[in-house]
Amino acid sequence: MHEYGLMEEVVKSLLAKLEDPAVDTEGAEMEVVLKVGALAIHSAAATRQAFEVLVKGTKLDKSRLNLIVEPLILSCAGCGFQGSLPEGAVDPHEHLPLAPCPQCGAISPVTGSRGVESIELVLD
């Protein structure tokens, strides 16, 4: 599963950070701010689910996930439209994803990031 593998890496790196004795998580509220590209995942819901499964029984068990998904951008050569598309508009497995232009219907290239843009751990 796409999201699971991605989140496995994210959770692993966060837990490594928490091993640092300088990081005091005692009684702290933890928020994980994760920014991923739209083509890195299939759905935000599946990503959240993977996170919940992966943090069970770890130091991140009580943390909250603040997931920010960068949008997909469609650029139409026909009418010049350039704008974001909703989640799931294209299959992230496709190498050169295409979708119909919302303005004129021409099949146009869609771009988006395929990776993790940033991971931040916020302690309150």
Interface positions with Zn ion (CB under 5 A): 76, 78-79, 81, 101, 103-104, 106
Beta bridge partners of 47: none
Q: Centre a 10 Å sphere on the Cβ of residue 57 and count the other Cβ atoms it contains.
A: 7
Please, which residue, 67 or 73, has the CB nearer to Zn ion?
73
Query: Are residues 123 and 41 in contact, defined by beta-carbon separation less than 8 angstroms?
Result: no
Q: State in angstroms the smallest separation of the CB of 104 from Zn ion.
A: 3
Q: State in angstroms the smallest separation of the CB of 42 from Zn ion.
A: 26
Q: State in angstroms the smallest separation of the CB of 102 from Zn ion.
A: 8
Please, which residue, 23 or 79, has the CB nearer to Zn ion?
79
Q: How far apart are CA 100 and CA 26, in angstroms?
A: 51
| Sheet containing strand 72-75, strands side by side | 82-85, 72-75, 107-111, 98-100
Please, which residue, 7 or 74, has the CB nearer to Zn ion?
74
